[in-house]
Chain A
């Protein structure tokens, strides 16, 4: 049968506040267990939560970025369940009155089309601690450093229809929260985690099928693979005449499979009710508008500007604006180069290649945007050619100095003296008399193919320094004899 997949995503975004959602304890990754806690995070009797206004500001920023209604009176609610790393026996979250209401994002797909994904809501909640099962001789250790870390849970409508669209959507959210500076976007450290709600229905059917929820998927690649795997699993069951069980599943990236965690029957009754220790968060229009005024340029706005201001193609503009760090790198370099197309090509080409090889993010590149720009200037002014520039980039990457220093030290300056080039060519022609004869006997088409041989010889002889723009016409002229 022809199945249509229906996907809704819940993305847990860790907000990059200095302190926790309800206490003054520092937020951080990798500290000694239970060192980043206060009475509140430990759930001590009599301890009371105090709402971190910075988290509020960040949530409102996000709301603006997705064109959402801001909850002018949002309410914290308690989600009650017992777990050893949930110190109070409840998680403080938001239920009926979230801080961010309905919004949407227009997501650009690989084929260049755009699809609109509705966002149901985004609410603030505190994270739980961690249970540590190793090193305790069969017992469990509890680390409450993460307890009360602020999360913004972004819930989409079931508007997504493919794995690629899901990934594009998550990437877009990732890009927005990092642009806004409200999340470090570090998925490996759990700063963004995704729950995938997925169901299948025969193409054309209106009603949704029974869905499963895949919990806590934490990389773009795993999101895509988990979706493919789960689509396949559900389709197999349905095509065998079976029924999907509504349940929570886990994705195992090592085996590339999802497996059941708990069924709906085992689900907790969380007994949500408004948290009596926290007052409703009532906002003024002035506050909400004030935050709107502080919004930085968002990815889609930046992409549009890159097209209009720099004349970049839509594709280039979208790639360069997908991360704020890359966009900033591009813009800083281009202020030096003043050739957007050249800068764009090199950022997306050679620089990205090196970053991929070393598995680095652009913000951690050993080449600064300034050093990169200075290198491109030397291409632009014909000091070096593109091939040499790749070597110079590698040398800058290795910390050998600036572009000019390296060009100078290694004597890489392009030969642009036509007399020198003519002399070089003459030597080549003399040494390859047979090939010259063949060339002269050939027709125009054949000659075009054969000229590459001579160009290669010249470049080799010049150690790549001969200006290809000069070599070609001189060579053609001299070959004619």
Chain B
């Protein structure tokens, strides 16, 4: 049952093959049994889940609800959930129970989905391995010695292990796509502005974007139906109607023009990963697509640009965590400065502190032009590269990450190697375009994701492309051994 798609489960719920309460209990039992190995949840909200499931059953009984009604899912722990602990993976928010609901979780709740709990993540979404969580690292269900990727590592691991049907994630520099790739699931980072950021605890506001993570593109489409759309509470939200993400999933790919950026296949890319990506591209050719080489010449600059812009914004966004109104406050502060310094030093982990310092430096008087302004100029160049490329092709394909999931602890001492993990994903956030990670094979027993990038607001197109691939492959249907044990 835990391996079923949202469509199938929705049908079973309507056929009364199973009730939402039963389905929810089944997932809660799996979490209780398997999650001690994975650590993918920070909070399991059993009571809330069972109440929502009962409500969903009543709706279904009356023939109401949507395809998400009664479906147990999880939320990344940076979406504020009213009355439920929201930590952002940080000691700073170890006691934070929001008095309000984020737009994303609220819309999904209105669609009738059941929230099983809040998933683990890199602290304040800063990380590519989920090792930067105050609540401990998450393990990869495919190999418990490996990282699940980050920062939405908890969501990815929970889906891969069958501890949630689907989940929300957020992607600032690859945080949906890279863990999706590492855990063998499907993830979509929508166009910046397509999904409301209201109630999402900000890391880097101009890059953050929430999106769906699930086993398949079709399941992601079901989530997008609920999540996407204009929100007057988010000024950067796009004031254009969202599409019907399910309607065109079955459109044929004949004539689809695929661009392969040569910079995505250069030095640093694992050869097995490269082979898997090329095999996937061949599959698309069989489906009627044409392939051409393109160039995104400023790809290399995305890392320095990102690691100036994101920390700069973060240094400002995280200033509100000062011990005054909510979150961690140090014991017995001597004075105001002592309270600020100790509350923040105690509440924030190493990586967060590092990025706050980098960002503070980059915005400082005398350095602003050399760092922040220059990074913004590069950002424009990167965007122009994509706009130009997407004039010529419908979608761009390449790897999500240079390698498969790496070993826990193997890169924690080498931040630059860790940052290089994001080389193929960062530029998408800088440009603001949508992109997906689609399971495309295995190398040394670990999943490999194909990245599919598209034009602004082309989410429906990306989901169609991914869905057609998944109709002809079964990589997304693979289940890790540890998940089968329960």
A: residues with CB less than 8 A from B are 39, 42-51, 78, 80, 82, 84, 87-90, 142, 269, 271-273, 276-279
Contacts and interface: CB of A to CB of B under 8 A. Distances in A.
B324 A84 contact: yes
B170 to A, nearest CB: 11
Contacts of A48: 197-198, 233-235
Interface string B84-110: 001010000100101110100000000
16 contacts: A39-B99, A45-B93, A45-B96, A45-B320, A46-B98, A46-B199, A46-B201, A46-B202, A48-B197, A80-B316, A80-B319, A273-B363, A273-B372, A276-B205, A276-B236, A278-B235
Interface in B189-206: 197-202, 204-206
Contacts of B93: 45
Q: Which residue among A46, A84, A88 has the maximum number of chain B CB atoms within 10 Å of its CB?
A: A46
Given A273-B312, A273-B363, A46 B320 contact: no
Closest 4 CB pairs of A and B: A89-B319, A271-B363, A276-B205, A276-B206
Name the prevailing secondary structure of the A interface residues. Answer: loop
B205 A277 contact: yes
Interface residues of B, number: 45
Contact of B316 (A42, A45, A49, A90): A90
Given A80-B319, A82-B322, A279 B98 contact: no
Contact of B368 (A87, A273, A278): A273
B364 interface: yes
Interface in B285-337: 312-313, 315-316, 318-322, 324-326, 336
Interface of B: 78-80, 86, 88, 93, 96, 98-100, 102, 197-202, 204-206, 232-236, 312-313, 315-316, 318-322, 324-326, 336, 340, 360, 363-365, 368, 372
Nearest to B340: A82
Which has the most chain A C-beta neighbours within 10 Å: B200, B235, B340?
A: B235
Contacts of B79: 46
Given A80-B319, A142-B325, A273-B363, A50 B202 contact: no
Given A45-B88, A46-B199, A88-B319, A279 B236 contact: yes
Contact of A43 (B78, B325, B372): B325
Contacts of A42: 325
A78 B365 CA distance: 14
A279 B88 CA distance: 26
B334 to A, nearest CB: 13
B307 to A, nearest CB: 16
B100 A44 contact: yes
B233 A50 contact: yes
Nearest to A81: B319
A205 B200 CA distance: 57
B61 to A, nearest CB: 34
A45 B368 contact: no
Contacts of B372: 273
Nearest to A80: B316
A432 to B, nearest CB: 83
A78 B312 CA distance: 11
Nearest to B237: A48
B471 to A, nearest CB: 37
